[in-house]
Amino acid sequence: MPEGDTVWRAARRLDRALTGKVLTHTDFRVPQLATWDLSGATVVETISRGKHLLTRIQGDQPWTLHTHLKMEGSWRILAPGQKWPRPGHTARLVLETADAVAVGFQLGIVEVVAREAEAEVVGHLGPDLLGPDWDADEAVRRLREQPERPIKVALLDQSRLAGIGNIYADELCFVAGLAPTTPVAHVPDLRRMVGRAHQMLDLNRRRDVQSTTGDLARGRTFWVHGRGGHPCRRCGTTLVESMLGDPGRERVTSHCPTCQPLR
């Protein structure tokens, strides 16, 4: 699943390509919106909220197009007539202006809501790690509301803080020296961990290569994520993979049993 920094960059691309422009054609390829047409409306802006994208459009009334990439989704900005990089049947939404075509492929969520109803789709989210109103203290407070919850599971809960996906959850646990199953109440410095989360996403949002190690070379960007069975970059211990998460939402989890002892 794309991380918050990936979604932030997608919002910037959509904003640069569409903001201030009139939609000349729209194609909603999801059943519930099949008859919708926003042609003639003007795009006001696109922003990210955690892992959610909000494209604000001024038509006969103020609308907000809410999209979410989920696991496989992406937005591509193309020139008119340019060949699509993915099969047409995977497109869920097409927004066209005079000089740009924005295609949303395999989007997990596509819906249109009245502007005043935005809170109904993103109001449940915790503080946005990359938002202008980022509030570390509020994020810590929300995490502490469930003291027995495993720290990795808590970090993935977007209602605690918004923007962390499986990659950063694994990496944050490693950098903090904590087993992913460590209860939130046993994290010695939760405020510092939240600060590191903000730092990781903030550093990576302006570059195409995500890295938590500081090394941008292929295969050396992460400490533990996706490296189960390989040696730990710090101590050489074989990294372990397991499944962890709320029922039905388990994620592959990588950690070093030596560097990340259970507290």
Q: Are 183 and 148 in contact (CB under 8 A)?
A: yes
Q: Please confirm, yes or no, whether 21 is among the known catalytic residues.
A: no
CB atoms within 10 A of CB 237: 13
φ, ψ (nearest 5 deg) of residue 38: -105, 20
Q: Are 55 and 46 in contact (CB under 8 A)?
A: yes
Q: Please confirm, yes or no, whether 51 is among the known catalytic residues.
A: yes
Catalytic entry in 2, 127, 150, 180: 2
How far is residue 121's CA from residue 113's CA, in Å, rounded to a whole number? Answer: 9
Q: Please confirm, yes or no, whether 183 is among the known catalytic residues.
A: no
Catalytic entry in 152, 205, 227, 251: 251
Exposed / middle / buried, residue 118 (Cβ in 10 Å: 0-12, 13-18, 19+):
middle
Catalytic entry in 3, 142, 205, 227: 3
CA distances from 7 to 50, 54, 86, 130, 248 (A): 8, 11, 19, 10, 24
For 34, half-sphere exposure in the C-beta direction (CA atoms, 13 angstrom radius) is 3
Instruction: Give the sign of the dihedral formed by CA 29, CA 33, CA 38, CA 43.
Output: negative
How far is residue 63's CA from residue 95's CA, in Å, rounded to a whole number? Answer: 14
Q: Please confirm, yes or no, whether 2 is among the known catalytic residues.
A: yes
Three-state SS sequence of 70-88: CCCCEEEEECCCCCCCCCH
Catalytic entry in 9, 49, 51, 227: 51
Catalytic positions are: 2-3, 51, 251
